[in-house]
Amino acid sequence: MQITTKTFQITPKELRALLTIDYYRRMKITFILLAAILLINIILSVLRNSFDWWLIYFLGLVAYLVSLPLFFQVHKRNSTLNFQNRYCEIDETFLAVFYEDGSIIKLNYSHFMKVIKKSDYYFLYTTQAQFHYLPVAAFENEKDIHRFEMFLQSKQLIKLW
């Protein structure tokens, strides 16, 4: 299997938007539960005609969790290489990333912890917080995407169902 992708790039603003959307998707159930608890406690406070000070702290916690993506500073947490034009060459042993400045990163698949696939991109995680971004649009055709996904599944890095 030899797959070469098209050249692609992501800006800090685009990456921040992707991370923000991903954060809200992962936290959706938590937000729903916290909002329900908060609403029930506000209704109970009104019915009892009493004010609980812990509701202010709870509301502050909810506000903090909702606003957390505003504090993401991806351009400071990621290498400038991640925002350059690049393309990938994928084979059975390595994923090689070729940057426009001539830098090359060659990663063995054993270095990947997991791969998260969304509709438009892959996050190839090497640690809990560090990942490589690979857009689906960078592949030449559907056959290459399918081969790449089947290969990742054979390495037990991704689940396709």
- pLDDT of 110 > 90? The answer is no
pTM of the model: 0.73
Q: 20 to each of 9, 73, 74, 130, how far by Cα in Å?
A: 18, 11, 11, 16
Structure tokens, 95: 């994923």
- pLDDT of 86 > 70? The answer is yes
User: 2-34 pLDDT, tens per residue?
Assistant: 888 999 998 888 888 888 888 898 889 998 998
Determine whether domain 3-10+79-154 maps to CATH 2.130.10.10.
no
- Residue 67 — very low, low, confident or very high, per pLDDT cuts 50/70/90? confident
Q: Which residues of 120-159 are buried (b: 16+ CB within 10 A; e: fewer)?
A: ebbbbbeeeeebbbbbbebbeeeebbebbbebbeeeebbe
Structure tokens, 28: 């959706």
